[in-house]
Amino acid sequence: MAQLTLQPSGKAVDVAAGTPLLAAILAAGESIPHKCDGKAQCGSCHIFVQEGRKTLPRIQKLENDKLDTLVGVSSKSRLACQTLMGEADVTIELLGFV
Ligand code: FES
């Protein structure tokens, strides 16, 4: 288990390694758009990883291809539905893009 901190609320939850961040965010009771239900097709679950970015599994082609189509993408960008929790604490920012 590692700690996932959600900004801007500041809520922190323990999450098992390998859990999709989208599932962890929803289980924590936070709201995040996820129009395609985790298929990397909509981009609405776009988040910024503020801390712990390098501890997360690398971006795969499906996620990378979708990120390439979004506006406001930065080196901190991930899709919550495609990003699995790692073994270390992470802080993410929920952007609320739709
Ligand atoms: S829920 Fe659609 S890309 Fe993540």
What CATH number should be reported for the domain holding residue 26? 3.10.20.30
The CA 76 to ligand 1 mean position distance, Å, reads 17
Kindly give the distance from the C-alpha atom of residue 93 to the centroid of ligand 1, in angstroms, as a whole number.
16
- Which of 26, 32, 34, 84 has the most ligand 1 atoms within 8 A of CB, as the residue to mutate? 34
- Number of folded domains that form the chain: 1
Bridge partners, 20 (sequence order): 84
Which residues does ligand 1 sit against, CB inside 6 Å? 34-36, 38-45, 66, 79, 81
pTM for this entry: 0.95
Contact residues for 22 (Cβ-Cβ < 8 A; gap 6+): 32, 34, 38, 45, 80, 81
- pLDDT tens digits along 9-55: 999 999 999 999 999 999 999 999 999 999 999 999 999 999 999 99
Closest CA to ligand 1's atom 3: 40
Cα–Cα distances (Å) from 43 to 2, 15, 67, 94, in that order, read: 25, 23, 7, 13
Question: Structural domain of residue 51, as residue ranges?
Answer: 2-94
Is the pLDDT at 98 greater than 50, yes or no?
no
Q: How far is the CA of 24 from the centre of ligand 1 (A)?
A: 14
